[in-house]
Every structure is written in C-alpha cells, then in structure tokens.
Structure 1
Amino acid sequence: MTDDEYVLAALRIAAGADPVPARVSTDARAVYGLRLPGAVTAGPVGVPSGTGVGAWPPSGVRSDGCPADGEPWLLRFAAGGLTIDVELTVCDSHIDLAGQVQPAPGKGARVEIRTPHVSKIRFPSDTGEFATTGLPHGWLSVVCHRPGNPPVATRWQCVRL
C-alpha cells in the first residue's frame, strides 16, 4: 500500500465508511463489563516445591506450556494482604478449579470465578477453601470479595489444552 492508500483508508475509518466488525464491538463491550473498578490486582507469585502439584506454566513439559490432560497445576497470586491459591485440572472439555484464600476471608466473603462467558459465585469455607467444575477452556480470573475491603482479583490467565 502506498502512503496515499493508507491516508484514504484512515479517512474511510474516521468517516465511518469502513465500520468496525460487529464481533470486535461485541467483544469490547464484554471486556468492559468484566472490569472491577477499585479492585486490587493480585499478581502471580512463586509456588514452593513440595506442594504435590506442578506450578503452572510448567517449564519444558510441552512447547505451549500447558499441562497434560487431567494433571493438576497450581497458580498462586498475592495482593492486598491475601494469597489466592488456585489448583486447575484441565480436561478435554472443561476445567475444574479448587482454591484457597489465605488468610481465610471471614463471614460475608464470596469468591467469584470469572470467565468471559460464565461467572460462578462460591462462599469459601471457614478455612478459605472453594471449588467449582465445568469451566470452559480459555481466560479466567478469581476475585475475592470481602465486606469492607476492596475486591482482590487475580490477573486473567489463559487456560486451555
């Protein structure tokens, strides 16, 4: 393309003659709806050895860094005085998730397991444990909501075989 063609293409876009594909607009609205204003973002932290499961992404297991079907992997996130451990078991058709918030978030707390298309709410046990099954492959995030505190959300992780 010449410089003139780039300028004409930019003018068409600016004039609305070359509309944004509907899928892009739909996805943008969906992502915007997943934002959590005021949330604290929990970043990944190292998982100590001897936990009985592999830290994910494992190094050298597969070129794409995904665990083998049915093998559990542990992710650990920390922020806002909380540690969120998430154990994932990736199966052919779904993801099973078990986790624990430490310290236990207490009464009135809830954990939200989010994907772009499904959100599941769980109420952690007295020790901070929670679980769900049947999540779709793809992006997921876990959010701990505690009364009187800002939510703590893990970074989005792409989980698939």
Structure 2
Amino acid sequence: MNHDDLLSQVRATFQAIDPVPAEVLASARSALAWRRPGAELAELSDDRTGRAAGARGAPARALTFTARDTVIEMEIATAGREHEIAGRLAPPAPAQVHVRHLGLAPDRPATRADRAGQFALTGLPEGLVSLLFRLPDGTSIVTSWIRL
C-alpha cells in the first residue's frame, strides 16, 4: 500500500464516521472566492460606540481601519435586524465598494464611493463583514473582518 492509498482510506473513514457539514464546506469555498491576493489589508485601528448624529441619536458604532496610505472611517447604525454603514476614504478617492458577507452573494451588495470618498450601504444582515474597495488605479483595499 502506498501513501495515496492510505490517505484515500483515511479520508473515506473520516467521511463515514464524522463527515464535514455541508455549510462548513460552503463557507470554505466562499472564503476562497473572496480572496484578493493583491489587495492591501486595512486593519481595525479604532472601535467605539457612541451617539449617532441625527434626530434620534441612537447608539452607533464608529470604526477606523488603517492601511499603509489610506484610512477608512465608518459608522454602523442598526435598525432592527438590519445594519447601515456610512463611511469615507481618506485621502478622498472614488472607488467601487463591495460587501463581503457569508450570508450574501460575493460582491453583493455594492456601491460607489464618490470623489469625496464617501459611501453608504444599507440593509446589511448581522454577521461577519468585510469591505473591498477597488480604486481607479487598479489597486484594492480590504478591511479586516468585523461582526455586525
């Protein structure tokens, strides 16, 4: 018996005794689809909860992500079970903004940051989320994952 045969038997045994749940396999495949090897990572550098601007003044979460040359500031507000993200890029730059979320199709929903770097996303469900910014020069920035 060679190594390939042995590994095949071990794999079959584990599949029969303790199979990997379908949702775990789907999550793993989705994670690979979300990879952006050339993207720069913007890591969470500040996370505060305070009062949101506006008439109701409900508590909101203010986050700051820092990449080498870019800062991404965003505010997360909650309305029932849905979340809304409003933010901006500094220095200002237009960009395509894509949401990465296990419960949503890859790159959906999406929006655009305007020339002032401002963007907004609405109707986001609870769960882990990361944002992907595609800049006009062809570079990309992804935020680290956070929980809504």
TM-score bucket of the superposed structures, by smaller chain: 0.7 to 0.9
In structure 2, the partner of 1:141 is: 130
More strand by share: 2
After superposing on structure 2, the runs of 4+ consecutive aligned residues of structure 1 that deviate more than 6 Å are: none
Which piece of structure 1 moves more, 134-143 or 120-129? 120-129
In structure 2, the partner of 1:114 is: 100
Residue 13 of structure 1: CA displacement?
Answer: 5.1
Q: Secondary structure at the match of 2:113?
A: coil
Letter in 1 for 2:16: A
Residue 76 of structure 1: CA displacement?
Answer: 0.3
State yes or no: 1:157 paired with 2:146: yes
Q: Which runs of 5+ in 2 are unaligned?
A: 1-7, 51-57
- Residues of 2 paired with 1:12 and 1:75: CA distance? 49
State yes or no: 1:81 paired with 2:78: no
Contact 2:27 2:102 in 1 (8 A): no
Cα shift readout 1:92-142 (whole Å, capped 9, x = no counterpart): 220011010111124xx2122221233222111221100011100111111
Contact 1:98 1:132 in 2 (8 A): yes
Q: Which runs of 5+ in 1 are unaligned?
A: 1-10, 48-54, 59-69
What TM-score, normalized by structure 1, do the two folds share? 0.70
In structure 2, the partner of 1:65 is: none
What TM-score, normalized by structure 2, do the two folds share? 0.76
Q: How many residues align?
A: 129
Pick aligned residue for 1:14 from 7, 11, 28: 11
Identity of aligned residues (%): 29
Trace 1:120-135 onto structure 2 (pairs within 5 A).
120-135=109-124
Contact 1:34 1:116 in 2 (8 A): no
Letter in 2 for 1:14: R
Q: Secondary structure at the match of 1:38?
A: coil
